[in-house]
Amino acid sequence: MKRNKEWKKWIWLALFLAAGTFVVHRVYRVLSWKDTMAAYLSNAESFYHTEDGLIDVAVFGTSHGYAAVRPDVIWDEYGYSVFNFSVSGQDKISTIHYIRELLDRHTPQVLFVDIYATPYERAGVLSNLYRNMLSLKYSQNSIAQVSNYFTEEDEERMDFYLRWPIIHTRYRELKPYDFYDSPANRYGRGAVYLFMTGVADFSGTFSHEREKKELSESNRLFVDRLAEIRDEYNVTIIPILLPCVVYEDEQPVFNGVLEYAEECGFTCIDFNLMLDELDLDVTRDFFDNTHLSGYGAVKMSRWIGAYLKEHFTLEDHRGDERFYQWEEDAQHYAHVEFREQLKEITGLSHLATGISETDDLLVVLVMTSGFGEQKNQLATLAPLLHLPEGFVENGGICVIDEGEVKIHTSLQTEDRYYFDMDEHHTVWAESAQQTDKNLMTGETDTRIVWRVGIDRETWYRTEESKGIEILIYDKRLEYVIDRRTIDYQSLYVN
């Protein structure tokens, strides 16, 4: 009997430990750092979503890297499986360990490594330190990353080993994407799309200066470690400097690093010496002085794709089902491109055409009054928008999900409607009576007011409508990509 009691104790202890481990794991997943590119965009998350053994080419470096190289562009034109593992403020030590993390799961032929971080010894801001140190899965490699970055005298070293002392205070800042993955991290293979443009001022750049600064010990070690990885994994590594305005104290460091890398047998590329060849427009192709815009990234990516085709024997994987994630990336980018095109589209006719030619869209239309028998542009566009019968004449609320009418109601009735748009979001429309009292006469006016929204967010209130309200929600991107009001008068046809 005594032996049976002891066995029960051990069983209960094992169950307690298992339950505790499960709870800790789940809580850590919620509190953990999920941002390498800002706003819950994480190419580390994207990397772990990518199936093993498929990456042929990878890019490493700072935010310059993820802003400049677009895997979807290279896939579209060449079918090469490229992954961009650059991180905001990626320091030299983190670059080495991110390379090893990728090589542990994939066997690429080519690695492009941006050297923009070589003039700097430490992370410039704390958030970038977190992005680099807390994003890799906990492993021997991530432990070595912390060991190599911090000295034994650094007080925060143990915090980064354990991670919990850093993330346990995040309770008040938790958002939905802490509980489930941001959809953006399933796509892109590590790239980010910076479609805002700025003017890059190259008038004071020092990129053509050839003076070299004596190599620091950390930069020598950085290049030596790249050489060790090259020889250990039999992979081609190409140190690069991506297009950016270079300052006086930086260029001599870059020159020294590139010279030593060439002495170690690397082929290096300084893209600042190739701005004309890349055909970069400083008024459109740059986000700021140090990052390419989405338009410049297309040019940069096409150049890299052509370079890979010329110098390496890489397989075109288009049509291979194993590489479906890259194909989905291309489809995802088509939606990103449509989002950008909407900014230039004016007029209901062009808007309706764009909607009809794009899949995975949810469209909301709110009209406080209809057009009656009057002919108008909306009536002629009804088939393109899949509008239900009676909507143009009578107005109301219409919610159309991928061409299928989900909600269609008059504004004169009281009711409520809900439907699940996807596993995370619910669209709703509901009405309530609103009574206004005239303080001068004492008379009251009671009317029905509708609200339309998603989850807890209200999109429209009918009493605030100033025309035909149109909202476009992209189900693939999982956010609203356009919202506008079209004046009734502009739609009447004489």
- Residue 209's pLDDT band, with cuts at 50, 70 and 90, is confident
- H helices of 268-421, where? 275-278, 294-311, 324-342, 348-356, 377-385, 391-394
Report the distance separating Cα 220 and Cα 299, nearest Å: 32
What is the reported pLDDT for 134?
87
Residue 6 has pLDDT above 70, yes or no: no
Report the distance separating Cα 399 and Cα 332, nearest Å: 23
- Residue 92's pLDDT band, with cuts at 50, 70 and 90, is very high
Residue 110 has pLDDT above 70, yes or no: yes
Same domain (yes/no): 261, 287: yes
Same domain (yes/no): 70, 198: yes
- Residue 4's pLDDT band, with cuts at 50, 70 and 90, is low
Please indicate whether residue 136 or residue 192 has the higher confidence score (pLDDT).
136
Q: 154 lies in a domain?
A: yes
Residue 13 has pLDDT above 70, yes or no: no
- Domain end, chosen from 306, 336, 366, is at 336
Q: What's the average model confidence in pLDDT over 468-473?
A: 88
What is the reported pLDDT for 221?
95
Report the distance separating Cα 366 and Cα 486, nearest Å: 11
Q: 343 lies in a domain?
A: no
- Residue 109's pLDDT band, with cuts at 50, 70 and 90, is very high
What is the reported pLDDT for 309?
96
Full residue range of the structural domain in which residue 409 is found: 348-491
CB 85 within 8 Å of CB 102:
yes
What is the reported pLDDT for 238?
97
Q: What's the average model confidence in pLDDT over 148-153?
A: 87
Same domain (yes/no): 154, 254: yes
Q: 342 lies in a domain?
A: no
**Token code pair at residue 113:** 């490594």
Report the distance separating Cα 74 and Cα 77, nearest Å: 5
What is the reported pLDDT for 440?
66
- Domain end, chosen from 311, 336, 361, is at 336
Residues with Cβ within 8 Å of residue 329, at least 6 apart in sequence: 71, 72, 75, 187, 188, 189
Exposure of 190 by Cβ count < 10 A (0-12 exposed, 13-18 middle, 19+ buried)?
buried
Residue 71 has pLDDT above 90, yes or no: yes
Residue 122 has pLDDT above 70, yes or no: yes
Residue 287 has pLDDT above 60, yes or no: yes
Same domain (yes/no): 24, 41: no
Same domain (yes/no): 298, 194: yes
Partners of 416 in the β-ladder: 430
